[in-house]
Amino acid sequence: MDRFHSMKSQNPIFNHPTLQILEKCQTLRTLKQLHAHMITTGLTLHTYPLSKLLLLSSTLAITYALSIFNQIPNPTIFLFNTLISSLTNHRHHTHIAFSLYNRLLTHKTITPNSFTFPSLFKACGSEPWFYHGRALHTHVLKFLGPACDHFVQASLLNFYAKCGKVGVSRYLFDQIKEPDLATWNSILTAYARSASSGTYDTSLSLKVLSFFNEMQRSSIRPNELSMVALVGACADLGALSQGAWAHAYVLKNNLKLNRFVGTALIDMYSKCGCLDLAYQLFDKLRERDTSCYNAMIGGFAVHGYGHRAISLYERMKLEGLVPDDVTFVVTMCACSHVGLVEEGCKVFESMKEVYGIEPKLEHYGCLVDLLGRAGRLKEAEERVRTMPMKPNAILWRSLLGAARVHGNLEIGEVALKHLIQVEPETSGNYVLLSNMYASIDRWDDVNRIRKLMKDHGINKMPGSSLVEIGGAMHEFLMGDKTHPYSKQVYLKLEEINRRLSEYGHKPRTREVLFDIEEEEKEDALSYHSERLAIAFALIASDSTVPIRIIKNLRVCYDCHVSAKLISLIYVREIIVRDRIRFHHFKDGMCSCLDYW
């Protein structure tokens, strides 16, 4: 690079007055005039002026840029790279960039180099170009070998990160001796994105925290993008202390609290159960876009504040912001959680009627959930059957869950039949119907479902709960005895069960999917992961602070009833985020008002 700058200072062609005028050119007419002047003065015989001409013309008129390129007798690899890079900056020109790259591959005297691939990999980071990215990887090995340039390695890492291939991204990251900020951000974002894509794998989010700590030990200073990845991981883990630390870090180090960082922090505080803090931040942000509103509406939704969500949705529209696909999802979910059926249906209908947006699968899923929770199961089933695309597992599961809550066995059986076809290995589907049979004493059918699970080699997904104590995350599995304080936890559980019994609680054992005695079924309920987490928190945390728990599955009926009583008995607020929503247990009540 220093050599290039030295050449620029010594060679007058790099500072030719025509090139300075070219940089200010804004119309095709002026460009053509300058092009003619460059031909007459011989500037087009030199690579650098040609590259500047190609770069500008590709932004004004791609066909004109290609006509210039096609007239070059022997284009250098520098000129190929210049035009390819410019084309990949515009998504609708990606196919032209690859066409030019294919032309380069057939050239007799030049081959791709380290400057050819980064822009192409960047273009492959979205559909429908993923497949081309893998083919490009083989070209890198062919033309550059395994020990390729740092920028090529980083672009490869970023490509696989966007494809969700975190294992490959990690392998490539480990090959880079001194990763720069962009490379650190790529690996952080790769794990953060995978963690938030519905995998419920806490190890991915924990890895983000680990990588961030490594980054801090290096000489690389985090930027706003780094913080977005970190805060996103804290949100998925429910790690309030780490998330609040990240917020303080942004302020202390004068990083920009822009709409991206702000949206991530709003989402984090909402998912950590601190809705008031989320709204305070939302209200103070100078920049608020649609994504920012979506995060806050989504926060109201999962906490069961449907009316506040609708109010914010209306405010967003008054501010001139246009709702997007996510806006409709979170707003309808907010309606669903509190039974605002008519309001939710109006939001759904407005998608096409007002905004000209065709509802997608996720929007039909919200509608089915909305109708099903409200007991309008026939309408929900009709929507599933008449929607313009094939229903996925989420829709059938919503219908099955609603059928279970409202005791509609007929629709429940239909939903499970379809679920087994599209998602035969998910244990929760079988458990839902089995619980429905158990609730009406149809034990032969319970056994039939259990046999069906065994025949398919399916085991019930183990419950897992995370609880944060003093800034450290503690994980409990159902029946877990691996925790260092396991003995104390189980002694506390005995005390809790005794006091629950004194308050008249009788465990609801019908839904325990085991062929065991009644007493053992009661124990099985007692050892659910959230019970262990609550017991540990009662032992290890300050009695004045809320207990915050993140659970990977939906809270069961008995644990829900028990948590309400425990909040009353021990005078502790318990905040549980399950797979669906938040439950705030306080003074023997739950924020969901048992509509869940």
* Burial 366-389, CB ≥16 within 10 A → b, else e: bbbbbbbbbbbbebbbebbeebee
Average pLDDT of the residues in 16-28: 84
Count helices and strands in the chain by DSSP H and E runs: 31, 6
Residue-range domain boundaries for the chain:
180-282, 465-590
Q: What is the pLDDT of residue 451?
A: 82
Tell me what the mean pLDDT of segment 261-280 comes to: 95
Chain-wide mean pLDDT for the chain? 87
Q: pLDDT per residue over 426-441, tens digit each?
A: 777 777 778 778 777 7
pLDDT (average), residues 472-499? 90
Q: Is the pLDDT of residue 464 over 60?
A: yes
Task: Return the residue matching tokens 């959680």.
Answer: 337
Q: What is the pTM of this model?
A: 0.80
The span from the CA of 141 to the CA of 144, in Å, is 6
Question: pLDDT tens digits for 506-552?
Answer: 876 555 544 433 344 444 556 788 999 999 999 999 988 999 999 98
Provide, rounded to the nearest whole percent, the portion of the chain with pLDDT above 70: 93
Long-range contact set of residues 500-509: C-beta below 8 Å, sequence gap at least 24 = 500/562, 500/565, 500/566, 500/569, 503/565, 503/568, 503/569, 505/561, 505/562, 505/565, 507/558, 508/557, 508/558, 508/561, 509/558
**Token couple for 274:** 């601190």
